[in-house]
Amino acid sequence: DAGVTQSPTHLIKTRGQQVTLRCSPKSGHDTVSWYQQALGQGPQFIFQYYEEEERQRGNFPDRFSGHQFPNYSSELNVNALLLGDSALYLCASSLAARVTGELFFGEGSRLTVL
Amino acid sequence: GQNIDQPTEMTATEGAIVQINCTYQTSGFNGLFWYQQHAGEAPTFLSYNVLDGLEEKGRFSSFLSRSKGYSYLLLKELQMKDSASYLCAVWNNAGNMLTFGGGTRLMVKP
């Protein structure tokens, strides 16, 4: 049973560029949440996707956008990268049918913006 | 909004007991999670409390008081491998999402 997988694991970009991060949820899960974790801090909620729609969004600018595909996998896109976007981006999957769903996290994509 | 507070860092000795506290303010509370995160790795689930009281799972226990907006994670018989960050997170059913505190970095020394 594959867990949550993310790609790429590491990447380096320069300011102003755009990046796309990918996530495949744990088998059987239908909901994907994205978190940004700066060094030494807790994960900050970006948004959540369910049934191919953004269901909930945290306090992040429109430069952050996402998508969920029919197979439940998801992408996170960040446009016009800033130095402050350097962080570990975590994808977490869960099952919407569970009222208080435990999140299962991927290993993350570490983004460095130079 | 939600506010979750936990100490930034703690140090303890191998074999000892350590308690990591977490206080929270939220609306629509529907459970509190503790996650462990080793440096450079993904957070992994430790415990979940939705009712008041103590949940024990091996060397780890978690306590919740909903009236006080307070939880703690208790780690017994500390091992060097317990050196990690411990994340307190609150499930807000109204928002249908998990909100994390800043994490407590625990250093276990010989």
pLDDT tens profile B65-88:
999 999 999 999 999 999 999 999
pLDDT bracket for residue A98 (50, 70, 90): low
- Whether residue A54 is predicted with pLDDT greater than 60 in this model: the reply is yes
Contact A42 B50 (CB under 8 A): no
Alpha-helix residue ranges (DSSP H) falling in B1-110: none
Contact A102 B33 (CB under 8 A): yes
CA distance B7 to B31: 20
* Residue A8, pLDDT score: 97
* φ, ψ (nearest 5 deg) of residue B72: -140, 155
Average pLDDT, chain B: 93
Asked if the C-beta of B102 comes within 8 angstroms of chain A's C-beta atoms, the answer is: yes
Asked if the C-beta of B33 comes within 8 angstroms of chain A's C-beta atoms, the answer is: yes
pLDDT bracket for residue A97 (50, 70, 90): low
- Whether residue A64 is predicted with pLDDT greater than 80 in this model: the reply is yes
Contact A106, A4 (CB under 8 A): yes
Contact B34, B47 (CB under 8 A): yes
Q: Which residue has the higher pLDDT, B19 or A56?
A: B19
Cα–Cα nearest to B106, from B78, B67, B71, B68: B78
Facing residue for B103 by CB, picked from A4, A42, A100? A42
Asked if the C-beta of B103 comes within 8 angstroms of chain A's C-beta atoms, the answer is: yes
In the A/B pair of chains, how many CB contacts fall below 8 A?
55
Q: For the segment B6-59, what is each residue's pLDDT rounded down to a tens digit? A: 999 999 999 999 999 999 998 778 899 999 999 988 899 999 999 999 999 899
- Whether residue B2 is predicted with pLDDT greater than 90 in this model: the reply is no
Residues of A in contact with B97 (CB under 8 A): 33, 45, 48, 56, 58
Cα–Cα nearest to B88, from B23, B17, B19, B9: B23
Residues of B in contact with A106 (CB under 8 A): 42
* Residue A100, pLDDT score: 61
> Helix, strand, or coil here: A85?
helix
Q: Give residues 67 to 96 of B whose Cβ lies within 8 Å of A.
A: 87, 89, 91, 93, 95-96
